[in-house]
Chains A and B, each alone.
Chain A
C-alpha cells in the first residue's frame, strides 16, 4: 500500500478542520470513545450534532477560540491508500505553521468559501503551494449548502481561481464543489450537485498518481553520520549513513564527495547492515567508498555524471517566519540537509505582493509572513539544486544565530 501526504489550506473559517473531520467520520476512522468526547464538547450544537472541527483542534486554546493555531496531523486509510493529513491554520498570523505542514505534502486541498470566493489568504496559500512546488492542487469550493448549491457561483470561482493559477504557474489543479458540513462530494457523490460530473474528493485522493513525484534520476546522497564500529572484526569499517535524497545508487558508481569535490567509487551500498543492489530515494542507507577519504556529516555524495550546484552565493525565495524583521546584512545560520553554516542575507531583491502578485523592489525589510526573493552569501560552500528542478535538494532553513529559532524557509534557486 502506498502513502499520500496532504494538507488542507485556505482562509480562516473556510472549513478546513471540518472537512478533515468529515473525511475521518465518513470513512469510519473515528473510534467511539473519541466520538463521545467530541460529542460532549460540541456544546454549541443541537442534540446529536457534532462539531467536526474538534477532531483536529487539539489544543485548549484552539477549542476555546474555535480556530486552528498549529498544524494537526491525522491518519487514516482506505483499502486503496494510507493518508497522512496536515490540518493547517487559516489565520495569517500562523502562516508558518501552514508552511510547516505544506512542505512535506504531495497534495494540497485549498478550500474556498463559496460565499466569499478567492480572497487574500486563498492567494497566499496558493502562492505557498506554488513556491513549495506541491505536486497536486485540489481546490474545493466549500459551503455550497449556503449558496443553494449554485452551479453559477461555483463556475465563477473556478474561473477566478484558474486565472490566478496561471499566473502562479500551478499546473495540476482539480476543482470540486463540496459541503464539509453536510458531506457533499466528499466521500459520497452528492444529489445536490447534479451538474457536477467529476469525482468525489476521497476518490481523487485514493487514485491520484503519485508514483512520479519522487525524483529517481539525479543521485544526491546527504551524509548524516559516519559509522565506525572500531571493533575487532570491523576494524577498518567506515560507512556513511545518510539519506538518498533523490536518484538511485549502486555499487561501482563513480561519485564525487561535495563540496570538496573528491572523486571516488562506491564499494558497497548497505541497508540494515546488509549489502543491497541499489538504494533509491527516499531510502535511508549506508554508502561505503573505495578510497580512504575524509567524509563527514554535511557532505553530499553525487555521481560524477550528474552534479548539483556548489556555491557560496545563492538566490532564494524566502517565507519569512519570525517576528523580528529581516534586514539586508543580517547574519544567520543556513541549514541544508546535514550542513549548517553561517550566512548573510546580502540583499532583498523583491517582495511578492500576495494580493496583486506584483514584485516590489526597493524593499528595506521583510516582516512576518512576507514572501521575498533574496541573495544569500554563505561562509563556506553549500551543495544544492534549484528547488524548482529538484524539490528534494533545494530546500533550506535559516536559523537565528542566538535564539536558534527557525526564521525562514528557503527555496534555493
Chain B
C-alpha cells in the first residue's frame, strides 16, 4: 500500500486546496487577502493549484497601510502579472482621511490596528462574503483557537464564545446578510511547513526574506529597519547589519533578524536552530499585552 502514502506536505496541501475550493463553491464574492508575505504567497500558490487549468476565481485584495517594504509591493505586482489574477488595492491612508481616524503616535506608530477599518470598508464596497487569509494557528495562542471558517459579524468581530462547531471537513459557510466569513486554509501549517513548501514548490519570494545589508535601529532585542515611518531619536543606535525578514508585515512593527541566510535551505536550517518563535522575534506590536491578538480579532482584525 506504500504507493498510497502521502507526505505531510501533501496532506496539508490537499486539505488547503479542499478549503480553497469550498470557498469558491460556497460563496458568491470571495476574495484572497494578499500582503506579499510568505503566508499569503503560499495561499496564492495553493489557489493556483486548486483551480488549474482555470484561473483563480477570486480577486487578490491588498489592504495597503502605506508602510510597506517596497520589495513586497514590487513582488505583489509581479505575482499579479504572472498569474493574471485581479488585484484590488485599498489604502489605509484614505480611510484615515475619510473617517478622521486618529493615528497612533510614538516611535513605532503602526497602522496595523487601523487596517481593520479599511478592510471592513473594502468588504462592504465589494460585497465580499468570504475573505481568505494566511493566518496559521501556530502563530499565536488566540489564533490557535480559531476555526477554519470563522464567522464575523458586520463589524468583523470575532466572538470566541460563539464559534460554530466545525466537524470533519464540512465547513458551514452560511451567513446572514452583512456577516462575512474569514477563511484560513493554512490553519494547520506551521512556520517550517510554509518554508518547506516554498522550497518544494520553488516559489519565488520577495528579496527581503534573504540576507541583505540594511540600516537598522537597534531597539533592545529588535532590529527595526530605518524608514520614514519610524521616529529616530537622539541617542538611538543605528547600525548597518546583515539581516533578513522572517515575516513581512509593516515596516513599523516588523523586526528583522540578523542572518546570512541566502537560500531557503539556509533559512530552514536557521529556523530549525532558533529557540525564539516567529512572532516573538519579529512582531513588536504583540508585545504590548498578553491578549493583543485576541483583542484585535474582536475588533475585526484577521
Contact = CB atoms under 8 A, between A and B. Distances in A.
Interface of A: 1-3, 31-34, 37, 41, 55-56, 58-61, 63, 69-75, 82, 84, 96-97, 99-100, 103-104, 211-212, 214, 216, 224-225, 227-229, 234, 237, 239, 241-243, 248, 270, 272-273, 280, 282-284, 286, 297, 321, 333, 335-338, 340, 395-397, 399, 403-406, 409
Contact of A100 (B8, B55, B167, B277): B167
B14 interface: yes
A58 B141 contact: yes
Contact of B4 (A96, A224, A237, A280): A280
Contact of A242 (B12, B21, B175, B291): B21
Interface in B1-51: 1, 4-8, 10-15, 17-18, 21-22, 24-25, 49-51
B52 A272 contact: yes
Given A1-B7, A406-B164, A72 B141 contact: yes
Contacts of A405: 164, 172
Given A59-B160, A211-B5, A227-B51, A335 B172 contact: yes
A243 B7 CA distance: 17
B275 A100 contact: no
Given A75-B137, A225-B25, A227-B54, A284 B165 contact: no
A2 B4 CA distance: 12
Contacts, number: 171
Given A3-B8, A34-B277, A60-B294, 7 more contacts: A69-B160, A242-B21, A243-B21, A282-B6, A282-B11, A284-B18, A404-B176
A337 B190 CA distance: 27
A395 B50 CA distance: 24
B35 to A, nearest CB: 22
A229 B145 contact: no
Interface of B: 1, 4-8, 10-15, 17-18, 21-22, 24-25, 49-55, 137-138, 140-142, 144-145, 147, 160-161, 163-170, 172, 174-176, 187-188, 190, 274-277, 280-281, 290-291, 294
A237 B7 contact: no
B152 to A, nearest CB: 13
Given A216-B4, A284-B18, A404-B176, A104 B163 contact: no
Nearest to A38: B141
- B-side interface mostly: loop
Contact of A224 (B15, B18, B187, B291): B18
A281 B133 CA distance: 26
A103 B164 contact: no
A73 B170 contact: no
Contacts of A270: 52
B170 A395 contact: yes
Contact of B25 (A84, A234, A297): A297
Nearest to B278: A31
A243 B18 contact: yes
Closest 9 CB pairs of A and B: A58-B141, A273-B52, A33-B280, A404-B174, A284-B17, A31-B277, A224-B21, A103-B167, A229-B54
Nearest to B141: A58
Given A32-B276, A34-B280, A69-B161, A241 B21 contact: yes
Contact of A216 (B1, B13, B25, B53): B1
Contacts of A224: 18, 21-22, 24-25
A33 B276 contact: yes
Nearest to B1: A211
14 contacts: A31-B275, A31-B280, A37-B290, A58-B294, A59-B145, A72-B141, A82-B8, A225-B21, A225-B25, A227-B52, A337-B170, A340-B174, A397-B170, A406-B172
B276 A31 contact: yes
B144 A58 contact: yes
Nearest to A41: B290
Contacts of A103: 167-168
Contacts of B176: 403-404
Contacts of B290: 37, 41, 60, 63
Contact of A283 (B14, B22, B190): B14
A70 B145 contact: yes
A243 B163 CA distance: 25
Contacts of A99: 165, 167
Nearest to B149: A406
Residue of B4, B140, B174, B176 most packed against chain A (CB within 10 A): B174
